[in-house]
Chains A and B, each alone.
Chain A
């Protein structure tokens, strides 16, 4: 017999629940910065999620219109502040495309090394913070121990630890140092003398051979952890079609099974940097995935990042080999006051979080008419409301964490 609400037997036991509006953020620890999610819930079940962004907005695009393009580079550092080098590279390549500039081979090799090293650092934070979101504390500490050494190495190369402005139009601001004192963290971990002298690339090589076996530990800690799998597998499933239509890029797109990586499929000016390198593009579904995992869920997105770290290590190793034989210098000069042609160029590069695009419209002056930064996280975040519908409140940190967003880049 069909029971209706008018049936007195039902009303007697009917516990009426009202819809509730819950504000998650902007100071919530699991929202990775100042993101406010407005949840419309019925008890624990989510009906609707509305992301509210803009808390870090400083209109970097307007600032870019009032500066010449080399002066805008430090502002790109502050967009995705976990991968400043990749942001610098994106803008530098877009301007080089616009003015038709050739970069020497040595600069290209160094750019690959630096960009991939920053990708490792960024994915380490992504991995550590994701563990933290799901209540597992130790991976975060390991991730930061490793990242610390990468930051030490960046500090030796360019003097900054977070906002580098190292990759610039025409190449890099400096060559990597020929002789440094071993970073103290690396000395402690590899049991070397803290006063040991070596070249920057040797220190990098030493770090990589130390890091590589550690990745297995992260897999044991997180990827294969039963609790972690329960929290991530089959949750937040994003279909291939939705991923493309929502403009998702990077690990989010590849986690949904689209085989696309700009380092291989991008424009010539970008892919020629990676010519002669051997690397694979990790794409879901994975053979090693636990049986609970569905294509396009949280676990797939996380695993794509982990596999990319391995590929980046491989790329850096090949870069170190190529550096010894590379010709040319680390930089061709580009004047601060160079006038941009009356033309426009748009270029996307593969940043750790997805495809970051820079669009520069020149107008015969040194300052561009329009400086546009298309954020990858902005597009990746737009998919949240789609993913969170019908899931539980506790799943939201797992879903938002798996998108690996950085608010500095979304708000620009």
Chain B
């Protein structure tokens, strides 16, 4: 099935929950409304024509330019994107699914944006989402165990955010 066909099928099934697509990109992608990600994910995994049984990667990208001078030329609106790289071992095809979130919930700095967890759909989602929470600061609702995974539990901030302040000190250990 070509990426365009997959997109068409998803639009037929979910209507305006599919908020965008680029089927001619290097890795063709479909954009999904964050609230519908579990529903769409389950459909992608179980539909006999799609059968995306593997979540190869889940990561988040921060589209933001902290430098005010460069921000004018920045090609994107500030937002955070959760990117799901799917693969089907049965049908051997790929799909990238994206979900756009605001950088901060209700535009309140420090309030983490929310998206439902896909850890029930693909088991590996649990660890990848913990990593995305740890490094990018995204809350995955209904996650069974949303703790930091790579940084210590008492770490402050989320390192992959573009406006992250590097800590000067951690438990008496001085940084740069």
Instruction: Please list the residues of chain A having a beta carbon within 8 angstroms of any beta carbon in chain B.
Output: 53-54, 57, 59, 61-62, 65, 97-98, 242, 244-247, 258, 260, 265, 267, 342-346, 348, 355, 357, 359, 361, 363-364, 369-370, 372, 374, 378-379, 382, 411-412
Contact = CB atoms under 8 A, between A and B. Distances in A.
A382 B122 CA distance: 12
Given A369-B61, A370-B61, A374-B59, 8 more contacts: A61-B135, A242-B123, A245-B53, A267-B94, A344-B27, A359-B57, A363-B75, A370-B62
B42 interface: no
Residue in A62, A97, A244, A374 whose Cβ sees the most chain B Cβ within 10 Å? A244
Interface stretch (B10-18, B30-38, B145-153): B145-153
Contacts of A54: 148-152
B57 A357 contact: yes
A65 B66 CA distance: 13
B82 interface: no
Interface string B47-88: 000000111110101110000000000110000000101000
Contacts, number: 91
B103 interface: no
Q: How large is the interface on B (under 10, 10 to 19, 20 to 34, 35 or more residues)?
A: 35 or more
Contacts of A97: 26
Nearest to A56: B150
B96 interface: yes
A346 B123 CA distance: 21
B89 A260 contact: yes
B171 interface: no
Nearest to A381: B127
A223 B25 CA distance: 47
B4 interface: no
Contacts of A357: 56-57, 85
Given A62-B160, A244-B53, A345 B149 contact: no
B124 interface: yes
Contacts of B57: 346, 357, 359, 372, 374
